[in-house]
Structure 1
């Protein structure tokens, strides 16, 4: 891994001081409220983690996927993977949530939001992330707008398990900056329990759409532009192995009590994961990859197909959810995206995902993506000699497929922890096994 800086296309300048202070106050309040943990940094983050399926589609106003977290601020301490194999999903917003949502909208939004009664206030469930709860809040048709206030907003309520205040500050500031530059949804309000965002009429992509050539090419262009941004954050690529090491440390202290969990956990531990982590580190340290500002989670649920786009525009997509974004190795962002071609999280039976390793992009599909990526990247334009371009492409094939190993490893560890901590109905331990199976198969090809 080489910490060489990536070329920047867009330099962001903003009065970050005021923004950081206001966000930090909200995040600190969140950290000090409803948490029963001696060291929040020792608990794996679920806050802001919407890894799976955030569709801003009014046709999906129910929790059709198992990706939702607790909204009551409580930590989960029992062994509760949720292997009850329930098939149902709640479709109704509980009374407490509606009351809180009404209060937040009335406090942070202007115009008619200040005047409507709680009875007129409308709220529905949007299929959410693995730990965030997502709601669509709306003004009723009979209530007229009095200004330019939005008629619909997206309410994001953070999950139960907390991360340190610095990470919350980073994500919230990042969201605000990207909104200011029209690179993401607008931010209407931030508070300890969550935030209010612009509702964007759209459909989330499905896993099979990632391989559609036109869409794959546009995703590559979006990622390349994202990598070209210069952001006011730490430029050292600490996120990847800092996160892996933190997850590993926590896993080594886990105690599973359910026999089914224990058997699966013990099977995973026979891989000698700490030694495997060092092997992976050594491999990636020998792999050249520039450090750029990475999204770190470009999967189908974080890519919106815009519904109200300009018909003349070639731009169909928008990247969302920047919770994991940081300066990181380019190869991870691309390799992680390639891994997501494998996993379908809309599967409606236990374990609520389907893995098809054969769907990992072929060499030609990878080259299609990389060529679109490079077409946007500074210095890699059409006038590059063919031999040089072929050399760059071959190097990136190796780079991205080696860093794809880190994606499998990281999310495999993450899922082991969720198997212990999360009450979400999802086969986390099965998912961990799937990621490590893919890891070792990929390692044989590119290590």
Structure 2
């Protein structure tokens, strides 16, 4: 029996976004026309950008249809083989958990496509030679495998991300990293997301962070990132990105808190530990003054202490690549290079101590906890010996000569300064959580949103039938639905206040709110 032709998926019409437009590269101006080169010396093509908003709340078939349309418009290599009219609904799209700011998906071609490509090549073989490619039959497998479209990683930005992240800067950073073969390659961008190279890898777990050998591998990769990607002059001149982020997030964070305070009495006190919002930000300023005086920093000389920092090295952003047999990554000296850092949304110039402190703080979180993924376990902060293990590996990997005295002095210095930069980490993510938090909608707001969605998306049949039918927009399961950003921010504030007390920056008698003290 012959295979039945797959019907064309009915198209939806959108009153606001019915056409896709290709525009210039999404890179920042300073990064445009500076294409990276391949190993053969050829310049890589400029990353394309498409002016289209991808709605991941659509029903599955229509979501897939828009994904494939974007892939074709972005001209992602080898995906032209996936026919839009007959294969769109058969592509595989699976949600990848672990990202808080974005929705992340793995996109794969239809499972049957590989067989079709193989059959097409086999049909062309005459006398052991592929008449289309000229390849000998012995290399046929390699030939058709080469033409199978690769898996893609699709990243759809979260609704609050625009208040947190400068996407132009982020994309420019990714381009620099790609040229140095750090992290996955960017394949194309659109209005609210991008496609990236899919790495065959597994994300580390919270348990992996506590493995001494893995911790040293992370330390080596962190040192290579800090020392291997020189800062641009404009990045260094702007100073530490932690202060830049805090300053840019302050107003939206205050707005969100005031909105909550109107609905809940005592909300500011419950989250920030003080009744006056400005008191929290004044404490940050007091801490900043303290650390600058303590480290003998000025606004100018701190710029010389900056490195390119990831700033979000939590376990979900640390992958272990699964190398094939015979890969150089399997050699003991290269084992640490199996660790790949992803998600550079919050990367930027910072003292290396901030980046290390941030990684240590992430030991306290379990984002996959089914009940309280936002909860911070202060008792899980690395012990002194665990901190020394990572910092020792970090220092030794960057040492130009093995001098025990110099290495120990650097280890001791970094240990102390990591401790002193920890309050900046907790203040930073406290404010981040406030901006990310979404307030519960009133019944009237929910009704208005549902009406807007039903008007915006209409499912239409092909023009041959002349009929139309409305379809509901199905909400995809929200993996981060249980994440309480306000509760997360409250705990970060408690850690911040506790550190200020322990460092002697404020007197415990002057603070009446709750605190979370880290023993290490």
Match of 1:332 among 323, 345, 354: 354
**Residue 266 (1) aligns with residue 269 (2):** yes
Query: What is the CA distance between 1:211 and its match in structure 2?
Result: 1.5
- Distance in 2 of aligned mates of 1:345 and 1:428: 12
**Residue 384 (1) aligns with residue 354 (2):** no
CA contact (8 A) 1:23 1:190 kept: no
CA contact (8 A) 1:405 1:443 kept: yes
- Distance in 1 of aligned mates of 2:148 and 2:184: 15
Aligned length in residues: 372
Could you say what secondary structure the match of 1:414 adopts? helix
Q: Superposed, which structure 2 residues align to 1:12-411 within 5 Å?
A: 16-18=31-33, 26=49, 71=56, 94-107=60-73, 108-116=75-83, 117-144=87-114, 147-148=146-147, 150-161=149-160, 163=162, 167-228=166-227, 229-232=229-232, 234-236=235-237, 237-254=239-256, 255-257=258-260, 262-271=265-274, 272-288=279-295, 290-308=305-323, 310=327, 311-312=330-331, 313-315=334-336, 316-349=338-371, 351-377=372-398, 380-386=399-405, 388-411=406-429
- Distance in 2 of aligned mates of 1:152 and 1:256: 42
CA contact (8 A) 2:240 2:351 kept: no
* Bigger-Rg structure (1/2): 2
Could you say what secondary structure the match of 1:119 adopts? helix
CA deviations on 1:307-361 (whole Å, 9 max, x unpaired) are 2353334133111111111111111101111101111111111x32332211111
CA deviations on 1:102-145 (whole Å, 9 max, x unpaired) are 11222332335444321332212221521311111112232135
- Distance in 2 of aligned mates of 1:297 and 1:422: 28
Say if 1:182 and 1:141 are closer, same or farther in 2 by CA, change over 3 A: same
Say if 1:93 and 1:319 are closer, same or farther in 2 by CA, change over 3 A: farther
CA contact (8 A) 1:110 1:149 kept: no
- Distance in 1 of aligned mates of 2:72 and 2:400: 50
Query: What is the CA distance between 1:263 and its match in structure 2?
Result: 3.2
- Distance in 2 of aligned mates of 1:259 and 1:167: 30
Query: What is the CA distance between 1:168 and its match in structure 2?
Result: 1.2
Say if 1:257 and 1:353 are closer, same or farther in 2 by CA, change over 3 A: closer
Say if 1:393 and 1:410 are closer, same or farther in 2 by CA, change over 3 A: same
Query: What is the CA distance between 1:256 and its match in structure 2?
Result: 2.9
Query: What is the CA distance between 1:408 and its match in structure 2?
Result: 0.7
Query: What is the CA distance between 1:268 and its match in structure 2?
Result: 3.3
Could you say what secondary structure the match of 1:172 adopts? helix
- Distance in 1 of aligned mates of 2:82 and 2:379: 55
TM-score normalised by structure 2 residue count: 0.65
**Residue 431 (1) aligns with residue 491 (2):** no
Say if 1:323 and 1:166 are closer, same or farther in 2 by CA, change over 3 A: closer
Query: What is the CA distance between 1:94 and its match in structure 2?
Result: 2.9
Q: Provide the residue aligned with 1:89 in structure 2.
A: none
CA deviations on 1:397-439 (whole Å, 9 max, x unpaired) are 1211111111111101111222246995211111111112222
Displaced runs of 4+ in structure 1, greater than 6 A?
Answer: 22-25
Query: What is the CA distance between 1:100 and its match in structure 2?
Result: 1.4
- Distance in 1 of aligned mates of 2:236 and 2:207: 34
- Distance in 1 of aligned mates of 2:348 and 2:354: 11
Higher relative contact order (CA 8 A, sep 6+): 1
- Distance in 1 of aligned mates of 2:440 and 2:152: 27
Structure 2 unmatched runs, 5+: 1-29, 36-44, 118-143, 296-301, 442-479, 505-520
Could you say what secondary structure the match of 1:189 adopts? strand
- Distance in 2 of aligned mates of 1:185 and 1:286: 40
Instruction: Tell me which moved more, 328-337 or 436-445.
Output: 436-445
Say if 1:148 and 1:227 are closer, same or farther in 2 by CA, change over 3 A: farther
CA deviations on 1:375-401 (whole Å, 9 max, x unpaired) are 122xx3453252x33332222112111
Say if 1:156 and 1:19 are closer, same or farther in 2 by CA, change over 3 A: farther
Query: What is the CA distance between 1:19 and its match in structure 2?
Result: 5.5
CA deviations on 1:154-180 (whole Å, 9 max, x unpaired) are 111122235389921221122122223
CA deviations on 1:212-271 (whole Å, 9 max, x unpaired) are 101110111111111112144522324111211222233333323578855343333443
- Distance in 1 of aligned mates of 2:259 and 2:265: 5
Higher helix share: 2
